[in-house]
């Protein structure tokens, strides 16, 4: 068999290991593998394409994987069976691996546009990296889960996401009964793993879990009950404790820093400025140099004071600074940020509110989150340290805490503060968010939800960076608490249908 050596964007070539038979010298392991191969060959021959009662569950899982994995990516499925899940994802390049000859033959016949390889998950004869690696209903059935995760890690690049699902222990007895009644396909003795078990095994191989989902409360097609149960109730306590399968999304950590991007990235700092004339000079004086250099992009938003003229004067007084001044034609901070990002030239994009309630001196901490690989999206959090006396009104604090809880539940990642104006991300990730913006609509006046929703949709690791929130030194807030609060509530409800209840 010819093994391809394609690599992503100049990544260092990784030679595949010798494809040895797993379990050599270990009689129990070898017997386990032989029994599994014979079993799945027999299942393929006896059941073929017939899904039986499990068809509704498989269709639901295909919907879930489709919501997590965009089309047009390079996808590897380990334990692909007949390849139906992999084919449903519309990959630009799809590779399926299974150790059953019968399954692979059927997969090749059903999906000729996808490459299928007969191999054991414990010793994959592949030497390239993939954007997504999926293991659907596999970890319950393999001898050495950690070794399979090690194989997946070897085939990962820094932006790879490992997506897997596995049966919940809650369903151990019901599934056993269904198989004895011939209502479900037979299986051999299973590994019944908890989310903590799988998360720990992933951590041993330098994967970090960033999203957790509970899926399939009703594994039969009984419309409209199955839609209500699987799309909505399965995400709500206590029903989520009773779901059939757990879905995890993990990212590789600890890869060499040279693979994480530019060693010294350039940074574009976008500064939305409306009625901020008294703060402009401090932006120039206090914003530190970052990486290979900082580009300051001011977006003036129809000020009633002389903000635009002050920015022009400060730019002339600081020729050592690389600067750009744009005049906003639309409305709202979100529109200003998008305009600034569209003109930015940096490898890393940052937002700094011109009111300087978040100190510019904190920006290096945000950039370091990306450079270290600890996160993909650095989000400022004003709700850790005590606030200065006039920094935020009480109702705003309550609103921010509410949205924090809502977002943590909605996105499956802990987020302390959704509306802090300071956020930092890579240009390539922002471009992917912008390309997918229509998925959530374009009505966020601040731009915070737009970026957070987009980052979650891309399975980026969002990392909170605590800051000490300061009082304004000049001017007044541009936020209308009640009008904007109602709009943000509508956005949460809209996004819930696109992220949580899919």
**Range with the poorest average pLDDT among 160-169, 201-210, 388-397, 483-492:** 388-397
User: What is the distance between the alpha carbons of residues 164 and 269, in angstroms, rounded to a whole number?
Assistant: 37
**Range with the poorest average pLDDT among 201-215, 348-362, 404-418, 421-435:** 404-418
Residue 400 has pLDDT above 50, yes or no: yes
Reading phi first (left if > 0) and then psi (alpha if -120 to 50, else beta), residue 181 is in alpha
8 Å CB contact between 334 and 440 = no
Mean pLDDT estimate for the chain = 86
Residue 102's contacts (CB-CB under 8 Å, 6 or more residues apart) are 40, 41, 42, 44, 45
User: What is the distance between the alpha carbons of residues 71 and 111, in angstroms, rounded to a whole number?
Assistant: 16
Residue 223's contacts (CB-CB under 8 Å, 6 or more residues apart) are none
Q: DSSP readout, 351-384?
A: E--TT-SS-GGGHHHHHHHHHHTS-SEEEEESSS
User: What is the distance between the alpha carbons of residues 397 and 408, in angstroms, rounded to a whole number?
Assistant: 17
Q: DSSP readout, 164-203?
A: EEEE-GGGHHHHHHHHHTTSS----S-----HHHHHHHHH
Counting every residue written for the chain, the total comes to: 502
Q: How would you class 502 by CB atoms within 10 Å of its CB: exposed for 0-12, middle for 13-18, buried for 19 or more?
A: middle
Q: Which of 348, 374, 373 is nearest to 426 (CA)?
A: 348
What predicted TM-score, i.e. pTM, was given to this entire model?
Answer: 0.85
Query: How large is the greatest C-alpha to C-alpha distance in the chain, in angstroms?
Result: 82
Task: Report residue 328's pLDDT band, with 50, 70 and 90 as the boundaries.
Answer: very high
Reading phi first (left if > 0) and then psi (alpha if -120 to 50, else beta), residue 342 is in alpha
250-264 tens-digit pLDDT: 999 976 544 445 568
296-318 tens-digit pLDDT: 999 999 999 999 999 999 999 99
**Residue 60's pLDDT is what?**
94
232 secondary structure, DSSP code: I
**Residue 11's pLDDT is what?**
41
Token pair 């001196």: residue: 361
**Residue 196's pLDDT is what?**
95
User: What is the distance between the alpha carbons of residues 226 and 218, in angstroms, rounded to a whole number?
Assistant: 6
SS3 call for 204:
helix
Could you give the domains of the chain? 28-255 (3.40.50.150), 261-499 (3.90.550.10)
Runs of H (alpha helix) within 304-447? 307-317, 333-343, 363-372, 394-411, 427-435
148-179 tens-digit pLDDT: 999 999 999 999 999 999 998 888 788 777 77
179-235 tens-digit pLDDT: 777 666 777 788 889 999 999 999 999 999 999 999 999 988 888 999 999 999 999
8 Å CB contact between 450 and 444 = yes
**Residue 261's pLDDT is what?**
52
Runs of H (alpha helix) within 181-272? 195-204, 225-227
**Residue 443's pLDDT is what?**
63
Residue 459's contacts (CB-CB under 8 Å, 6 or more residues apart) are 68, 161, 210, 211, 249, 251
Measure the CA angle with vertex 498, ends 494 and 502; round to 5°: 130
104-153 tens-digit pLDDT: 999 999 999 999 999 999 999 999 999 999 999 999 999 999 999 999 99
8 Å CB contact between 328 and 299 = yes
Q: Which of 202, 191, 201 is nearest to 168 (CA)?
A: 191
Question: Of all residues in the chain, what percent carry a pLDDT higher than 70?
Answer: 84
SS3 call for 473:
coil
Greater confidence, 352 or 18?
A: 352
**Residue 12's pLDDT is what?**
39
Rg from Cα positions in the chain: 26
């Amino acid at each position: 068999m010819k093994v391809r050596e394609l690599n992503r964007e100049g990544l260092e070539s990784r030679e595949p290991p010798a494809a040895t038979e797993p379990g050599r010298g270990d009689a129990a392991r070898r017997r386990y593998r032989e029994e599994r191969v014979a079993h799945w060959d027999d299942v393929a021959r006896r059941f073929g394409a017939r899904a039986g009662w499990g068809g509704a569950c498989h269709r639901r899982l295909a919907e879930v994987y489709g919501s997590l994995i965009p089309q047009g990516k390079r996808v590897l499925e380990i334990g692909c069976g007949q390849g139906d899940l992999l084919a449903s994802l519309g990959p630009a390049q799809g590779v399926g691996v299974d150790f059953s000859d019968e399954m692979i033959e059927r997969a090749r016949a059903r999906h000729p546009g996808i490459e299928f390889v007969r191999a054991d998950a414990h010793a994959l004869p592949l030497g390239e990296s993939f954007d997504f690696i999926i293991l659907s209903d596999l970890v319950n059935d393999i001898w050495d889960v950690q070794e399979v995760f090690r194989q997946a890690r070897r085939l990962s690049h820094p932006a790879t996401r490992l997506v897997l699902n596995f049966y919940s222990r809650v369903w151990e007895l019901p599934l056993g009964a269904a198989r004895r009644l011939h209502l479900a396909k037979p299986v051999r003795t299973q590994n019944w793993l908890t989310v903590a078990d799988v998360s720990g095994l992933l951590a041993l191989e330098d994967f970090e879990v960033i999203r957790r989902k509970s899926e399939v409360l009703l594994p039969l097609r009984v419309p409209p009950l199955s839609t209500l149960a699987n799309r909505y109730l399965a995400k709500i306590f206590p029903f989520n404790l009773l779901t059939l399968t757990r879905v995890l999304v993990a990212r590789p950590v600890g890869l060499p820093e040279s693979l994480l991007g530019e060693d010294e990235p350039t940074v574009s700092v976008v500064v939305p400025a409306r009625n901020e004339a008294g703060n402009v000079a401090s932006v120039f004086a206090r914003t530190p140099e970052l990486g290979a250099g900082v580009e300051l992009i001011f977006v003036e938003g129809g000020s009633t004071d002389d903000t635009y003229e002050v920015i022009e004067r400060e730019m002339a007084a600081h020729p050592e600074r690389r600067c750009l001044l744009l005049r906003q034609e639309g409305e709202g901070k979100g529109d200003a940020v998008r305009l600034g990002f569209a003109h930015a030239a940096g490898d890393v994009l940052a937002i700094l509110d011109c009111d300087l309630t978040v100190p510019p001196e904190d920006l290096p901490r945000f950039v370091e989150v990306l450079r270290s690989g600890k996160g993909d999206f650095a989000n400022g959090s004003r709700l850790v340290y005590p606030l200065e006396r006039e920094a935020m009104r009480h109702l705003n604090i309550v609103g921010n805490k509410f949205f924090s809880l809502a977002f943590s539940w909605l996105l499956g990642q802990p987020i302390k503060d959704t509306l802090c104006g300071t956020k930092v991300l890579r240009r390539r990730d922002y471009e992917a968010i912008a390309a997918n913006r229509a998925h959530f609509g374009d009505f966020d006046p601040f731009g915070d939800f737009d970026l957070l929703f987009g980052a979650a949709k891309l399975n980026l690791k969002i990392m909170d960076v605590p800051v000490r929130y300061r009082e304004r030194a000049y001017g007044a807030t541009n936020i209308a608490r009640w009008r904007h609060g109602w709009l943000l509530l509508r956005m949460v409800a809209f996004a819930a249908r696109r992220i949580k209840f899919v």
